[in-house]
A and B are shown apart, each in its own frame.
Chain A
């Protein structure tokens, strides 16, 4: 693959988006909408070709068919040029972007195919596929951007598509509210992204990733020390952007609400791809992050807290999609935990495996929801193994992967995170490794409990499905079955990428036990070296501990799974009355909505108070009094004299106008003299 073809990767889905958008607009008048076959073909084909091109690019980087290139880069045009800043609109694929690109386009294509089955009956099918394709474009630009502004373009684009798709069924006011909530939370993060980018420009004098990394890698100690405060600020601000996009505390509350969107959207945008953009950005700027131990500590602590919070919240949900959403929040916390430990490659590995198993879980939840005629309440499910075998299979594989039971994808990635948490690269002034490891381990156990709860309530426990619904369960169409099976199997085998088994068979030179780490080392390796030197932890220590941690992780996953099955095997104790809300109540409600309440008290209410204050002081007192003075003055004047003139006859007005003109001319003449 030649680097002059890079532009095609984002351009093809954009073409699909424009085509389907036009079809949607053109077909909006007649009752059936545009022809579904054409819409579906283009919508699925465009990301599929992008996927093929991404494979070709990755093969080029890996050295297939020629010299291995470190990165492919194409500068399309000069975006803006000015004093001290010349920025070209550049796309580039290095090893980090190629990893992201492969699963974004690959899993994206599968989910597009799934959407054909899931959304095919919907009135707005073409509009939906157009938004999905637009999302692919934006996500690809985000990943392929060679500089911060280009990434920001994609960053905003995915935010926009997320907003459009959460509110896809915008006739329901709650869904539109959820869309706005997501957008506003992301705006807060975007502000951080922008300020962080400005700060990085101030430090390094460039916005290009290559130049930024180069600056941090080659800067001498005095330069780093003199701008240490600014570097810390820049990293924390960038992380605020990542927290917004990747739903980390304190900006995480939008993600569960985002489940208002159709299920393929939840799978693609709010589980597999967009929400991992934050992890990508932290890894991309890893050279900057490692120069600030404080920023790394922030990333780590926030990740840890989010992982724990999300796991507990996932445990108390009744809505199957909400449970998976909190699970996503928790897993994203795990990724940031790994990044905060300095294990950027592990964080990306978890991004990669999570994309598979979370997409599989969401899509199978979608198949269940589709089968049960839009029932999302797990209290009205159960015993669906026979009715929805393919969905069951995919969820079973996803469950296997996420709990961390041996040999599925999550086993490898979660284990590596635990290992790095115990290894303690975190600089908090004292050794917190045992505490950190324990928190991570407990959270991994909680993950197993809540995930087993979900699969138990949906598939293993006795059926609580309404008999009326049960008689008419929709089967899983072939377009939904294929992605389910591919992603299910992917959840099983994606973990082996770390050790490079498939690549090893294919004879790639770089493999061994850390294929992915080697693959990513040109991008994040130097940063990890810096941290390893600073903390004094040798690689040998890891290996000694690896088996212990793997054993502990497996034990706690097995125990958590058993616990989840034991508690909920008979279904929930309370039988729901029809039409009740799925929102958790009691402790669960307090825990789940705690951050919403806090945001309401800390942000919304103060802003309301300030707004009312401004209303009373500025609007009523200042503007009111001033306005009254002006109006009273003009009324006194007008009612007295001006009105009498206004009420005069036309002829009088004319005479007066002439007199006035004469007076004006006379005054002018005198003034001239």
Chain B
């Protein structure tokens, strides 16, 4: 089996999506820079989109259509989410004058 064929199998797409999700999660958990945490979260989001696309190729009928539609919605909403998320991060940074995620633990009290 040629290399490109292996890469185009449904399982390969899902593995790639899972890897992307893992990278995003790891970034979000281990990095302390709050902007990078946000980037990790965005990466996770796109990993899920990729997974949807993969399934839209594998599954038939309505499920396939859903697999194409869901990412479109997600992209649109993610744009808004990124906007709000960035604004929140900027406000947080302004408030504490730091970009260290560990500094934001107001729920302690």
Residues on A lying within 8 angstroms of B by beta carbon are 646-651, 654-655, 658
A646 touches B108 (CB 8 A): yes
24 pairs of residues in contact across A and B, judged by CB atoms under 8 Å: A646-B107, A646-B108, A647-B105, A647-B107, A647-B108, A648-B105, A649-B101, A649-B102, A649-B105, A650-B37, A650-B101, A650-B102, A650-B104, A650-B105, A651-B30, A651-B32, A651-B37, A651-B101, A651-B102, A654-B29, A654-B37, A655-B29, A658-B25, A658-B29
B105 touches A651 (CB 8 A): no
Closest to A652 in B: B29
- Main secondary structure on chain A at its contact with chain B? helix
Interface residues of B in 9-64 (CB under 8 A from A): 25, 28-32, 37
Contacts of B101 in A (CB 8 A): 649-651
How long is the Cα–Cα vector from A651 to B37 in the complex, in angstroms?
Answer: 9
| Sample of 9 further A-B pairs with CB below 8 A, known A648-B105, A650-B37, A655-B29 | A646-B107, A646-B108, A649-B105, A650-B104, A650-B105, A651-B37, A651-B101, A658-B25, A658-B29
Per-position contact with A for B80-109: 1 when CB-CB < 8 Å, else 0?
Answer: 000000000000000000000110110110
Q: How far is the CB of B101 from chain A (nearest CB, A)?
A: 5
Contacts of B32 in A (CB 8 A): 651
Contacts of B30 in A (CB 8 A): 651
How long is the Cα–Cα vector from A648 to B105 in the complex, in angstroms?
Answer: 7
Contacts of A650 in B (CB 8 A): 37, 101-102, 104-105
B29 touches A651 (CB 8 A): yes
Contacts of B107 in A (CB 8 A): 646-647
Contacts of B31 in A (CB 8 A): 651
Q: How far is the CB of A529 from chain B (nearest CB, A)?
A: 85
How long is the Cα–Cα vector from A655 to B27 in the complex, in angstroms?
Answer: 11
How long is the Cα–Cα vector from A655 to B104 in the complex, in angstroms?
Answer: 16
How long is the Cα–Cα vector from A658 to B105 in the complex, in angstroms?
Answer: 18
How long is the Cα–Cα vector from A650 to B33 in the complex, in angstroms?
Answer: 12
Q: How far is the CB of B26 from chain A (nearest CB, A)?
A: 10
How long is the Cα–Cα vector from A658 to B37 in the complex, in angstroms?
Answer: 14
Contacts of A654 in B (CB 8 A): 28-29, 37
Q: How far is the CB of A139 from chain B (nearest CB, A)?
A: 63
How long is the Cα–Cα vector from A646 to B106 in the complex, in angstroms?
Answer: 10
How many contacting A-B pairs (Cβ < 8 A)? 28
Contacts of A655 in B (CB 8 A): 29
How long is the Cα–Cα vector from A258 to B12 in the complex, in angstroms?
Answer: 90
Q: How far is the CB of B23 from chain A (nearest CB, A)?
A: 13
Contacts of B28 in A (CB 8 A): 651, 654
How long is the Cα–Cα vector from A250 to B105 in the complex, in angstroms?
Answer: 68
How long is the Cα–Cα vector from A353 to B105 in the complex, in angstroms?
Answer: 83
Closest to B28 in A: A654
Leading 5 A-B pairs by shortest Cβ distance = A655-B29, A647-B108, A649-B102, A650-B101, A651-B29
Q: How far is the CB of A650 from chain B (nearest CB, A)?
A: 5
How long is the Cα–Cα vector from A118 to B105 in the complex, in angstroms?
Answer: 71
Closest to B29 in A: A655
Closest to B104 in A: A650
Q: Which of B29, B30, B37, B102 has the most CB of A within 10 A?
A: B29
Closest to B105 in A: A649
Contacts of B25 in A (CB 8 A): 658
Q: How far is the CB of A641 from chain B (nearest CB, A)?
A: 15
Closest to B34 in A: A650
Closest to A650 in B: B101
Q: How far is the CB of A647 from chain B (nearest CB, A)?
A: 5
Closest to B106 in A: A650
Q: How far is the CB of A145 from chain B (nearest CB, A)?
A: 62
How long is the Cα–Cα vector from A595 to B69 in the complex, in angstroms?
Answer: 80
How long is the Cα–Cα vector from A603 to B3 in the complex, in angstroms?
Answer: 95
How long is the Cα–Cα vector from A650 to B107 in the complex, in angstroms?
Answer: 10
Contacts of B29 in A (CB 8 A): 651, 654-655, 658
Contacts of A649 in B (CB 8 A): 101-102, 105
Q: Which of A650, A654, A655, A658 has the most CB of B within 10 A?
A: A650
How long is the Cα–Cα vector from A649 to B28 in the complex, in angstroms?
Answer: 12
Closest to B21 in A: A658
Contacts of A646 in B (CB 8 A): 107-108
Closest to B25 in A: A658
Closest to A649 in B: B102
Closest to A645 in B: B107
Contacts of B104 in A (CB 8 A): 650
Contacts of B108 in A (CB 8 A): 646-647
Closest to B109 in A: A647
How long is the Cα–Cα vector from A435 to B25 in the complex, in angstroms?
Answer: 101
How long is the Cα–Cα vector from A654 to B27 in the complex, in angstroms?
Answer: 11
Q: How far is the CB of A642 from chain B (nearest CB, A)?
A: 11
Q: How far is the CB of A498 from chain B (nearest CB, A)?
A: 85
Contacts of B102 in A (CB 8 A): 649-651
Q: How far is the CB of B37 from chain A (nearest CB, A)?
A: 7
Closest to A655 in B: B29
Q: How far is the CB of B103 from chain A (nearest CB, A)?
A: 9
How long is the Cα–Cα vector from A658 to B102 in the complex, in angstroms?
Answer: 18
Closest to B101 in A: A650
How long is the Cα–Cα vector from A646 to B105 in the complex, in angstroms?
Answer: 9
How long is the Cα–Cα vector from A655 to B30 in the complex, in angstroms?
Answer: 9
How long is the Cα–Cα vector from A655 to B101 in the complex, in angstroms?
Answer: 13
Q: How far is the CB of A208 from chain B (nearest CB, A)?
A: 64
Contacts of A648 in B (CB 8 A): 105
Closest to A648 in B: B105
Q: How far is the CB of B42 from chain A (nearest CB, A)?
A: 14
How long is the Cα–Cα vector from A231 to B49 in the complex, in angstroms?
Answer: 79
Q: How far is the CB of B102 from chain A (nearest CB, A)?
A: 5
Closest to B107 in A: A646
Contacts of B105 in A (CB 8 A): 647-650
Closest to B26 in A: A655
How long is the Cα–Cα vector from A648 to B37 in the complex, in angstroms?
Answer: 16
How long is the Cα–Cα vector from A646 to B37 in the complex, in angstroms?
Answer: 19
How long is the Cα–Cα vector from A648 to B101 in the complex, in angstroms?
Answer: 12
How long is the Cα–Cα vector from A649 to B25 in the complex, in angstroms?
Answer: 16
Q: How far is the CB of B25 from chain A (nearest CB, A)?
A: 6
Q: How far is the CB of A619 from chain B (nearest CB, A)?
A: 32
Closest to A647 in B: B108
How long is the Cα–Cα vector from A648 to B29 in the complex, in angstroms?
Answer: 13
Contacts of A651 in B (CB 8 A): 28-32, 37, 101-102
Contacts of A647 in B (CB 8 A): 105, 107-108
How long is the Cα–Cα vector from A658 to B25 in the complex, in angstroms?
Answer: 8
Q: How far is the CB of A661 from chain B (nearest CB, A)?
A: 10
Q: How far is the CB of A337 from chain B (nearest CB, A)?
A: 76
How long is the Cα–Cα vector from A647 to B28 in the complex, in angstroms?
Answer: 18
How long is the Cα–Cα vector from A646 to B107 in the complex, in angstroms?
Answer: 6
How long is the Cα–Cα vector from A137 to B13 in the complex, in angstroms?
Answer: 81
How long is the Cα–Cα vector from A649 to B31 in the complex, in angstroms?
Answer: 12
Q: How far is the CB of B22 from chain A (nearest CB, A)?
A: 10
How long is the Cα–Cα vector from A652 to B49 in the complex, in angstroms?
Answer: 25
Q: Which of A646, A647, A649 has the most CB of B within 10 A?
A: A649
Q: How far is the CB of A665 from chain B (nearest CB, A)?
A: 13
Q: How far is the CB of B72 from chain A (nearest CB, A)?
A: 24
How long is the Cα–Cα vector from A649 to B108 in the complex, in angstroms?
Answer: 9
Q: How far is the CB of A490 from chain B (nearest CB, A)?
A: 79
